[in-house]
Amino acid sequence: MFTFENKTVVVVGGTSGINLGIARCFAKAGANVAVVSRSQEKVDAAVKELKALGANAMGASADVRHFEELVNAMDSFKDRFGEFDVLVSGAAGNFPAKAMDMSANAFASVINIDLLGTFHVMKAAYPHLKKPGASVINISAPQSYIAADFQSHVCSAKAGVDMLTKNLAREWGCEGVRVNSVVPGPIEATEGMNRLAPTKALQDAIIDNVPLGRNGTHEDIGNCCMFLSSQFASYISGVILPVDGAWSLGGYSVSMNAMQNIMSQPKN
Ligand code: NAP
Ligand code: COA
């Protein structure tokens, strides 16, 4: 069991899906947990849930595309919980679309949430990171290193996220701050899977392609984040770590063929 008692953990995008799962894991391990996302309703619900797990929890509504909103959120977390031991940046947007079916604004919306948003999160949190000692984790995606149909925006954005991880692992290493990316594979009960694997046939095709034979869980990702933020990972920085049952080693081909069929159906 990991313990994060008296530690401060900030999870951006931590009000649903995988990121809320990460927040839950740290809450159960005794951390003070702060979450951020756009919807005040989702923030309130997540904070309530984290408190019910016994954690000191707080939240703030902010759009990662707006730097000043994040600065205000981070300042409020620092005032209440002190310097940050762990920062998780996981806000993201995704929809399947061919590059030529996207407006410039559609492409930009994903770049601005995933890539620029990650930069904003890291920059806004930086003054409050514990130095030395903080662990920063960017939640990436296999699209960062596998070209995938209908995902040019996400592939571009997440490749940028992983390069930012490596750059800041170098720049912040001398201050004792570690920066890593965690790359979830197909994770059950998530908005990402709802959007990219909308049919049972596609979900089955994906599981068939996972050597470990199952989808990942929120806990699989949360446990990895706790390990990376623990003393057992004190020499690990600048790593892009897939947590995907070896799925990404096989590429996207099977699920992409099925997705091709879905996307080629006439829309009602
Ligand atoms: P999700 O439930 O939709 O989580 C996204 C979170 O980000 C929500 O809390 C959302 O809340 C917040 N968010 C979105 N846009 C935002 C913005 N502009 N500003 C601030 N917060 C914003 O999705 P998920 O599937 O669990 O994905 C979570 C992370 O895992 C993402 O980084 C995704 O790329 C990565 N991932 C997922 C999978 C998968 O299997 N699902 C696989 C690989 C990687 P609001 O709507 O309130 O803003
Ligand atoms: N195909 C093509 N373009 C699309 C699209 C689709 N399926 N969905 C949205 N767009 C376009 C919109 O038309 C708009 O472009 P326009 O202004 O030229 O018309 C642009 O994308 C932005 O859409 P909008 O809904 O205004 O943006 P938003 O800021 O409210 O939401 C999204 C951002 C689009 C990424 C939205 O899906 C979102 O909020 N996602 C968060 C949750 C999520 O994606 N979770 C999974 C994470 S893996």
Average pLDDT, the chain: 96
252 pLDDT more than 80: no
Say if 156 falls within a structural domain.
Answer: yes
Going by CA atoms, what residue is nearest to atom 6 of ligand 1?
Answer: 13
Distance from residue 254's CA to the centre of ligand 1 (Å): 24
Read off the pLDDT band of 268 (50, 70, 90). low
Residue 8: φ, ψ to 5°: -110, 125
Asked whether the beta carbons of 181 and 240 are under 8 A apart, the reply is yes
Distance from residue 215's CA to the centre of ligand 2 (Å): 26
Residue 233: domain span: 8-263
So what's the pLDDT on residue 266? 78
Say if 268 falls within a structural domain.
Answer: no
Say if 249 falls within a structural domain.
Answer: yes
Read off the pLDDT band of 82 (50, 70, 90). very high
CB contact burial 37-63 (16+ within 10 A = b; e otherwise): bbeeebbeebbebbeebebbbbbbbbb
How many folded domains does the chain comprise?
1
Read off the pLDDT band of 96 (50, 70, 90). very high
Say if 55 falls within a structural domain.
Answer: yes
Question: What would the pLDDT profile of 102-115 be if each residue is shown by its tens digit?
Answer: 999 999 999 999 99
Calpha distance 121→10 (Å, rounded): 10
Query: Which two structure tokens, joined as six digits, stand for 255?
Result: 């699920």
Say if 110 falls within a structural domain.
Answer: yes
Evaluate: CB of 17 within 6 angstroms of ligand 1.
yes
Rounded average pLDDT over 165-185: 98
| Ligand 1 atom with the shortest distance to the CA of 191 | 25
Say if 236 falls within a structural domain.
Answer: yes
Question: What would the pLDDT profile of 12-63 be if each residue is shown by its tens digit?
Answer: 999 999 999 999 999 999 999 999 999 999 999 999 999 999 999 999 999 9
Rounded average pLDDT over 144-171: 97
Distance from residue 202's CA to the centre of ligand 2 (Å): 22
Residues 131, 179, 70, 187, CA torsion sign: negative
Say if 188 falls within a structural domain.
Answer: yes
How long a stretch of residues is the chain?
268
Pocket test for ligand 1, best of 191, 217, 225, 244 (most atoms within 8 A of CB): 191
Pocket test for ligand 2, best of 109, 150, 161, 195 (most atoms within 8 A of CB): 109
253 pLDDT more than 80: no
Read off the pLDDT band of 137 (50, 70, 90). very high
So what's the pLDDT on residue 193? 96
Going by CA atoms, what residue is nearest to atom 48 of ligand 2?
Answer: 192
Does the pTM surpass 0.95? The reply is: yes
228 against 262, higher pLDDT: 228
So what's the pLDDT on residue 223? 98
Distance from residue 246's CA to the centre of ligand 1 (Å): 22
Share of the chain above pLDDT 90, in %: 91
CATH number, position 48: 3.40.50.720
Going by CA atoms, what residue is nearest to atom 40 of ligand 2?
Answer: 93
Rounded average pLDDT over 141-160: 97
Say if 44 falls within a structural domain.
Answer: yes
Distance from residue 13's CA to the centre of ligand 2 (Å): 16
99 pLDDT more than 90: yes
Going by CA atoms, what residue is nearest to atom 32 of ligand 2?
Answer: 93
Read off the pLDDT band of 259 (50, 70, 90). confident
| Ligand 1 atom with the shortest distance to the CA of 42 | 47
Read off the pLDDT band of 127 (50, 70, 90). very high
254 pLDDT more than 70: no
So what's the pLDDT on residue 1? 86
Calpha distance 95→1 (Å, rounded): 37
